[in-house]
Amino acid sequence: MKIGVMVNNLEPDRLRAFDVARQLGFDVVHTSALPEAWLVGPKRQEYIDAARASGVHIAAMFVGFDGQSYADIPTIRRTVGLAIRALRPHRLEVSRQYSALAAELGVPALATHLGFFPEEAEDYRDLVLTVRQFAEHCAACQQMLLLETGQESAARLLQFIHDVEHPALGVNFDPANFLLYGVAEPVAALEQLLPYVRGVHCKDGVRANQAGVLGTETPVGQGEVDFPKLLQRLVRSGYSGPLVIERESGDRKREDIIAARAYLQALPRVEGIPNH
């Protein structure tokens, strides 16, 4: 398994980030969401040119939207993802624009945080239909659509995947999110989601000590994620995609990412994991 990086954690300047990744020895990346204007405006071509010039492989492009904020759980509930009903038609259109951009760059997967599933049945059904439409669009472009884990339990996410029922649908497994949102133990969640895992984030964190509050992200290896066990399970399952380091907070993201790579490389060798 190759070790990749969430490229915009490494370098926030989107036009420089691909090259920074390359210089630091990463040749596989995931990309963070773009301002919506970049998907249709003049920046689009600059972004494509920067990605191509670097030669790095984008394994998945994250789809996100203007106005999203992860400040706290109520704000996430109000602003994040296709879950927001009033914005859903617009955001589906934006999602299709991501898909076109990904196709142009030869990216095999889109990924997204759906946000919190609606409680109301009709709203939930509408989200299921919307995600199915997006998955159909991705499939027509030879792309997978990966759902980022962690806002809900593995069982709840599995139910949603079964409700959408589309072969292009998979999971980007982020172990830390299960802890940050306080919904599951990551290795147990992996066990349930394994058949759908097509991407992995190596991110770490600790649970909050009260309900309804986000936990705290930590550098990889310093939180509650059992990475040795997690990677062992992934290898045994035949997962062969990249392990993508994600570091969303802190003021030493680049240093933390380099240290995370060293940590992952130094883990006891598991049969099937080349140590690079």
For the CB of residue 5, give the shortest distance to Mg ion in the complex, in Å. 12
Residue 94 vs 180, nearer CB to Mg ion: 180
**Binding piece for Mg ion, criterion CB under 5 A, among 37-45, 132-140, 200-208, 214-222:** 200-208
| Stretch 230-269 residues interacting with Mg ion (CB under 5 A) | 246
| Residue with smallest beta-carbon separation from Mg ion | 174
* 198 lies in the site for Mg ion, by CB under 5 A: no
217 binds Mg ion (CB under 5 A): no
Tell me how far apart the 2 most distant CA atoms of the chain are, in Å.
49
Instruction: By CB under 5 A, tell whether 174 contacts Mg ion.
Output: yes
Instruction: Select 152 or 246, whichever has its Cβ closest to Mg ion.
Output: 246
- Amino acid found at 222: Q
Closer residue to Mg ion, CB minimum distance, 104 or 185? 185
Least spacing, CB of residue 223 vs Mg ion, in Å? 13
Specify the stretch interacting with Mg ion by CB under 5 A; choose among 27-35, 78-86, 185-193, 199-207.
199-207
**Number of residues binding to Mg ion, judged by CB under 5 A:** 3
Residues from 40 through 79 that contact Mg ion (CB under 5 A): none
Least separation in angstroms between CB 138 and Mg ion? 19
Strand partners, 145: 110, 169
Residue 96 tokens, joined = 């299709």
Rounded least distance, CB 159 to Mg ion, Å: 21
Question: Which residue number, 56 or 225, has a Cβ lying nearer to Mg ion?
Answer: 225
- The reply to whether 201 sits near Mg ion by the rule CB under 5 A is yes
Q: Which of 155, 130, 125 is nearest to 145 (CA)?
A: 130
Query: Quick check: 149 and 173 in contact, CB under 8 A?
Result: yes
**Pick 88 or 203: Cβ nearer Mg ion:** 203
C-beta closer to Mg ion: residue 36 or 246: 246
Q: Which parts of this chain interact with Mg ion (CB under 5 A)? A: 174, 201, 246
